Amino acid sequence: MFQECCILLLDHTATVNADDCENCLIVLGPCKGSVFIRDCKNSTVFTVCQQFRSRDCVNIDVFLFCTTRPSIESSKQMRFRSLALSYEKLEGFKSLLSYSNRFHFNNATFTEHMLKASFSPFNNNWNKVYDFTPDESLPNFEICSTVSDLLRSAQEPLGVQ
């Protein structure tokens, strides 16, 4: 079990499994295949993947770029947002970790990893979540506003178009 961890996987991968994480921040580079999040609680996930699946998770924020419909199963309080990620924005954090000489970071850019994992920026289904175990009384997931939605709604009362 991982508790209160910051997990950075800043490279392109084939498949990623994240199991039993609690109060964690998980940042994943582009995954050509599937990202599976299982038995996690109170965590935040940033990922680009071909397939996203969660099972038995509670209170998870997901910032996602996904070429297929993300799916959840036996999960509650899942919140999905469109991914905005750049490795360059993590430079200060990476420098801090590298100081201990226990960490090595690939200098490739996020865009290079997107290309290596064969992703097109035009095929993103982050907000088309499929719930295998829907609850009629209370939805298991929420599609959260994107930044452009928030800006648009803030401008409307001001009469700005």
How confident is the model over 90-119, as pLDDT tens digits? 555 445 444 444 444 455 566 777 777 777
The answer to whether the predicted template modeling score (pTM) of the entire model surpasses 0.85 is no
Domain that holds residue 139: 2-158
Is 67:84 a contact under the CB 8 Å cutoff?
no
Contacts of 81 (CB under 8 A, 6+ apart): 61, 62, 63, 64, 126, 144, 145, 146
Q: What is the pLDDT of residues 6-51, one digit of tens each?
A: 998 888 899 999 999 999 999 998 899 999 999 999 999 999 999 9
Closest C-alpha to 76, from 133, 22, 130, 35: 133
Length of the chain: 161
User: Residue 49 belongs to a domain with what CATH number?
Assistant: 2.160.20.70
Residue 75 CA: distances (Å) to CA of 40, 41, 83, 110, 157: 9, 10, 20, 29, 36
Number of domains in the chain: 1
Please tell me which residue, 90 or 59, carries the higher pLDDT value: 59
